Homo-oligomer: A and B are copies of this chain.
Amino acid sequence: MSLSASGDNPARFMSLPSWLMTQAGVHAHRLVTEGLAAEGARGYHYRLLSVLDDSGPASQAQLGRRSGIHLSDLVAAINELADRGFIHRSPDPADRRRNIITITGNGRRGLRRLDKKLLRVQEELLSPLSAGERDQLARLLTQILGHQGR
C-alpha cells in the first residue's frame, strides 16, 4: 500500500483499530503469500496439505470443512496439487459420489518444506515483538476471533 512517506498528517481513518487490524492482516497475508510463492505454492495448497497430514485421507467435502475452503474453490486447488504429484485423487468404492484424497510421499516432503518456510515467515512477522508480547498478541487476537461466531 505504501502510505505517503512524506510529511503529511496521517488521515483519521489510520488510527481506527479496525484499520490497524486490517493492515496487520494484509501484511501477514502478504508475507505468507510471498513465502509460499517462493516455494511454488499458495495458501490453499498449504492448508490442504496440512489438513491431510493432520487428519489423513478424506473426501473433498470433508477437506472443505476442515480447511475452511469452499467446495467450489477446492476443485482447482486439488487439481493443482494433483498436477504436482502432491496428492492422489481416487474414487471411493463405498460411495461413488466421493473422491478420496490422499497425500503422497512427495506431498509430505513438499509440506515439510512449506512448514519450514512458514516458520521463518512467523519469525520475520513477529520480529519487533518480545516473546511475552507475541503471546499477548496471540491471546488478544484469539479472544476477538472467539467472539466472532456470535
Q: Is A94 on the interface with B (CB-CB < 8 A)? A: no
Q: A118, B67: Cβ atoms under 8 Å?
A: no
Q: Is A100 on the interface with B (CB-CB < 8 A)? A: no
SS class, residues of chain A in contact with chain B: helix
CA distance A53 to B13 in the complex (A): 11
Residue of B nearest to A123 (CB): B17
Q: Is A55 on the interface with B (CB-CB < 8 A)? A: yes
A30 to chain B, nearest CB (A): 9
A82 to chain B, nearest CB (A): 20
Q: Is A76 on the interface with B (CB-CB < 8 A)? A: no
A22 to chain B, nearest CB (A): 5
Given A9-B54, A146-B128: A141 and B29 within 8 A (CB)? no
